[in-house]
Amino acid sequence: MNVHQMNVPEAYAGYHLRDLPHEDAELTHVGPGAPCGEYMRRFWQPVCLSQELTDLPHATRILGEDLVAFRDKSGDVGVLHRHCSHRGTSLEYGIVAEHGIRCCYHGWLFGTDGTILETPGEPPNSKLRESFRHGAYPAREYEGLVFAYMGPPDEEPEFPMFDTYYLSDNKLVPYSCHYSCSWLQVHENFVDPIHAVFLHTRLTGTQFTDAWHDLPATEFIEKDAGLYYITTRQVGDRIWVRTNHIMLPNFGQVAALWEAVEKEKLFNRASVTRWSVPIDDTNSWIFGYRHFNDVVDTAGIGKEEECGIDSVDFLGQTGNRPYEERQREPGDWDALVGQRPIAIHAKEHLGTTDRGVAMWRKILREGIRGEGRFAGKPATWGYAGDPIHTYTHDTCLEIPDNGMKGAEQMEYLSQVGREALDCIFSGDALEGEERKSHIEQQLIALRDRYRA
């Protein structure tokens, strides 16, 4: 029974509001057998950084499973169940071998595919090692991140290659950030563009540039496995359209972190490609790449050397700052972890600006259930092609302020934003430079139509 049904006064209602409903288990529980956990296992997931694979094994935990990752001396990467199949000792204390990893306790040797290579204390004629396998997952390394596929072997998808991996002069720098909360609230931050106005700009004054100050016209578009937000603002004599691309179940790209709208830009691509990876129900990693190139960070704020293990060059992305500093200038980490270990959706009051969050939960639920536009399709439907096209962009067009105000201006800006994203979509039949050049021509034509 809520306050209204009880007809009690609105003020001082703490006594009536203290009970916590359960979390939305379908979207937040990720262990083996849980609907969201099983869904996520159908995708390649980052599990650690390559630099964490040294001459020592690396203990990690992903989707509620304790794992050990290592690079054997021949260079092969293994991602194995952490506890030895003999009597359970953690392989984090194992010895990395020429091929595979040897348990420290009785010396059993496990291959990267889980084959038992040696059981040295057993009699020479023992067939024990041939009678079972150790738990192992297929692993892939790409540009400094280690990925594993933890789903059913017969459903293993292609390793996804995104178009932004192939851009010329684009350096991918791997990083991670540990979050002491559910993966879902970390990922939902993507579809909440309004927090950038408040958390990163108005309330702090230092995290982003002045261009972020005004509330944007905001649109959300669904396409294939993706959800896109478009924010559009008039900044001086330019209209700035920014789109972030989010894909099921836990992939996302961020456009320029510190866009300042200081000159015309057409199809400027992502500054971050990342995954929100569950450790378990109440802890998660962001694993991703910061993109460094000449166009995405024209403000010159990014620092490659600050990107690495639990570290990225953007204030407030980890819990590693002193508590008082985090209270005085909170960042994403503080806002997201502050939503409780698992945000309780039944306690929220979603407003107009939370449309993206509501849409995201709906399509995630449909993806998990295989309903709606995901009905009858494999889990990874929408991840087609090599490369997989992404649409994240900043576009700053020389279109002077036409004097519109209020709702009329918002509708006008929304229309420009939608048309800009249509220009990006219009390059889908093309690849690489051809696609870029086509999209740029379309955006120039869009600008000229609005200037006329």
Residues engaged in binding ligand FES (CB under 6 A): 84, 86-89, 103, 105-108
Of 118 and 398, which has the nearer Cβ to ligand FES?
A: 118
Alpha carbon dihedral 308, 314, 316, 319, in 10-degree steps, equals: 0
Rounded CA separation 371/177 (Å):
32
* Nearest distance, CB of residue 200 and ligand FES, angstroms: 49
Residue type, 237: D
| Number of amino acids touching Fe ion (CB under 5 A) | 1
Q: Cβ(427)–Cβ(439) under 8 Å?
A: yes
Residue type, 75: G
Of 78 and 331, which has the nearer Cβ to Fe ion?
A: 331
Alpha carbon dihedral 146, 92, 95, 41, in 10-degree steps, equals: -40
Of 86 and 187, which has the nearer Cβ to ligand FES?
A: 86
* Nearest distance, CB of residue 326 and Fe ion, angstroms: 14
Of 108 and 240, which has the nearer Cβ to ligand FES?
A: 108
Give bridge partners of residue 68 from the DSSP assignment.
Answer: 59, 80
Rounded CA separation 154/433 (Å):
36
* Nearest distance, CB of residue 61 and ligand FES, angstroms: 19
What does 108 bind: Fe ion, ligand FES, none (CB cut-off 5 to 8 Å by kind)?
ligand FES
What does 93 bind: Fe ion, ligand FES, none (CB cut-off 5 to 8 Å by kind)?
none
* Nearest distance, CB of residue 89 and ligand FES, angstroms: 4
Window of 100-108, 129-137, 214-222, 327-335 that interacts with Fe ion by CB under 5 A: 327-335
Contacts by residues 422-431 (CB-CB < 8 Å, ≥ 24 positions apart): 424/243, 424/267, 424/391, 424/393, 425/223, 425/391, 427/389, 428/389, 431/163, 431/387
Q: Cβ(394)–Cβ(256) under 8 Å?
A: yes
* Nearest distance, CB of residue 59 and ligand FES, angstroms: 15
Of 88 and 236, which has the nearer Cβ to ligand FES?
A: 88
* Nearest distance, CB of residue 319 and Fe ion, angstroms: 15
Rounded CA separation 286/179 (Å):
8
What does 332 bind: Fe ion, ligand FES, none (CB cut-off 5 to 8 Å by kind)?
Fe ion
216 preceded by a cis bond (ω within 30 of 0): no
Rounded CA separation 319/387 (Å):
35
What does 87 bind: Fe ion, ligand FES, none (CB cut-off 5 to 8 Å by kind)?
ligand FES
Window of 42-50, 92-100, 325-333, 390-398 that interacts with Fe ion by CB under 5 A: 325-333
Task: Look up residue 231 and give its two tokens.
Answer: 């924010």
Of 116 and 145, which has the nearer Cβ to ligand FES?
A: 116
Of 86 and 393, which has the nearer Cβ to ligand FES?
A: 86
Q: Cβ(147)–Cβ(135) under 8 Å?
A: no
> Is residue 332 near Fe ion by the rule CB under 5 A?
yes
* Nearest distance, CB of residue 48 and Fe ion, angstroms: 24
Residues in contact with Fe ion by CB under 5 A are: 332
